[in-house]
Amino acid sequence: MTTSAMTRTVPGRQVRSSTFILSVVIALALSHHTGVQAQRPSTDPGTGPWELVEADDVQEVCRLDPELLHQVTMRQDMSFAVVRYGRLCFVSGENASDGPGVSHLYSATKTLGALLTGAIMYQTRDLSAGSFMSGPLREFDRMDEWLDLTALPPRTVINKDATVAHVLAMVGYSDDLAYGQKTHEYDASGRREINQLIRVIDNVVKQDAQRLGSNAVEAKDRLFATLGLEHSRWEVEFFGYSWYGSLLDMARVGQVILRGGVYNGERLADSRYVYNMTHPAFEDGSTRYGYLTWMNNTTCAPRAIHRSYPHGISESSDCADGNCDQQHDVGVWSAAGAGGQYIVGHRGLDMVVVGKNWNDGGSSQLWRAVLPAVVAADPKFMGDEDTFCDAYSMGEYAPDLVKWDNGL
């Protein structure tokens, strides 16, 4: 189809030039009007209903072009939502509501599992160090401090020297855990190693069952209550793929990660753990995987480059071109489930994007659907996607970066 000079083409839709010009004018006005700023609330939505920003306020409150969001085209079974500055800015799709919109999220469950593990670490941080199966749970605890590795189920493989971090990064099965020798192969079902994290949590929480829960199921239930996940269920024995949840419950999980482990003013996980979770964990195994969480693999988005842990990423193949310097440490991360279930965190934009059934083009398609609305309302780039992408993808533009604890 031939596109006229009065129309610019965006993947999945056409946007009239008049709309584009209007967006530029509004964005320019926002950038010069000190009384109109994108508002960042002091708390997240808590456990109650998440109030949707009024359509007329989306441009001002969320710094997004609502008309461009409304023009996103999807199949009938698809949905997405955008949370920015802690506000629910936009929701679209038949299965976008809570309750009726509960569906299987497949391997997006893994990121939820990493969050639960981090929450248990934080809750047990003050326990006195002890002997076998006692004391606080820590990232670099050996797995054999919490499990008998000689009595693992069939098909489970965990190196005798593996730590909790190794298993969270899916390299714990490697024959050799020395630098440069690790291997990373996706543990889709969880049977190879990550399901054993449930047994670890069981053994940790029973030290203080009244406070932590008697087992991993009760610990999960308490985390769900804290986050207000009222439209979710998760059979934690299947650590990697058994979460059924609503679109907005997905967004709540994304929000606590985006905030570095804080939700509704309460710290749930240590910011250093969340940082490690959302950056390449063992780069010699994979530069695209953190703790049960994927790193950015889309265009027009910054890649996650760990500043130090557990060995310099400058030594990894991902930085063979020497192009590893970033002005802002804002690499994009995602929870990803089969069939296109996504939770995507854009820390530099203070934004979480969630989607269901975006299986055709993956997270790239989801980001490309939202991107024009972001750029059109950006006071610096005012609709210039190419220039925005050049700056944002290189980590040079992070207008909404909020530092976490520990200088992260």
CATH number of the domain residue 159 falls in: 3.40.710
Question: Could you give the CA distance from residue 14 to residue 68 in angstroms, rounded to a whole number?
Answer: 9
CA 286 to chain centre: 18
Residue 62 lies in a domain: no
Compute the C-alpha angle 408/114/308, nearest 5°.
Answer: 35
Among positive and negative, which fits the CA dihedral 392, 368, 288, 260?
Answer: positive
Among positive and negative, which fits the CA dihedral 114, 119, 120, 125?
Answer: positive
Structure token pair of residue 261: 């482990």
For residues 20 and 310, which has the higher predicted lDDT (pLDDT)?
310
Question: Could you give the CA distance from residue 27 to residue 147 in angstroms, rounded to a whole number?
Answer: 56
**Residue 359: burial class (beta carbons within 10 Å; 0-12, 13-18, 19+):** middle
Instruction: Tally the residues of the chain.
Output: 408
| 35-78 residue pLDDT tens | 334 445 556 888 988 999 999 999 999 999 999 999 999 888 89
Residue 142 lies in a domain: yes
What H or E segment, with its residue span, contains residue 103? strand 103-104
- Give me the domain span that covers residue 380: 103-407
Residue 354 lies in a domain: yes
Return the closest-CA partner of residue 65 out of 42, 82, 79.
82
| Interval 133-155 mean pLDDT | 96
Question: Could you give the CA distance from residue 124 to residue 291 in angstroms, rounded to a whole number?
Answer: 19
**Strands in 300-374 per DSSP E:** 333-337, 341-346, 351-356
| 347-363 residue pLDDT tens | 999 999 999 999 988 89
Residue 160 lies in a domain: yes
Residue 60 lies in a domain: no
| 160-184 residue pLDDT tens | 999 999 999 999 999 999 988 999 9
User: Considering its fold, how many domains does the chain have in total?
Assistant: 1
Please provide the average confidence, as pLDDT, over all residues in the chain.
87
CA distances from 239 to 189, 216, 242 (A): 8, 10, 7
CA distances from 91 to 38, 78, 82, 98 (A): 19, 11, 7, 11
| Interval 364-392 mean pLDDT | 97
b/e sequence 69-98, b meaning 16+ C-beta within 10 Å:
bebbebeeebbbbbbbbbbbbbbbbebbeb
Question: Could you give the CA distance from residue 88 to residue 123 in angstroms, rounded to a whole number?
Answer: 29
| 272-309 residue pLDDT tens | 999 999 999 998 899 899 999 999 888 899 988 887 75
222 by DSSP, 3-state: which? helix
Instruction: Give the model's pLDDT for residue 297.
Output: 82
347 by DSSP, 3-state: which? helix
Residue 54 lies in a domain: no
Instruction: Give the model's pLDDT for residue 353.
Output: 97
| Interval 94-110 mean pLDDT | 80
Question: Could you give the CA distance from residue 242 to residue 191 in angstroms, rounded to a whole number?
Answer: 13
Question: Could you give the CA distance from residue 240 to residue 223 in angstroms, rounded to a whole number?
Answer: 17
Question: Could you give the CA distance from residue 151 to residue 143 in angstroms, rounded to a whole number?
Answer: 13
**Residue 213: burial class (beta carbons within 10 Å; 0-12, 13-18, 19+):** buried
Residue 31 lies in a domain: no
Residue 32 lies in a domain: no
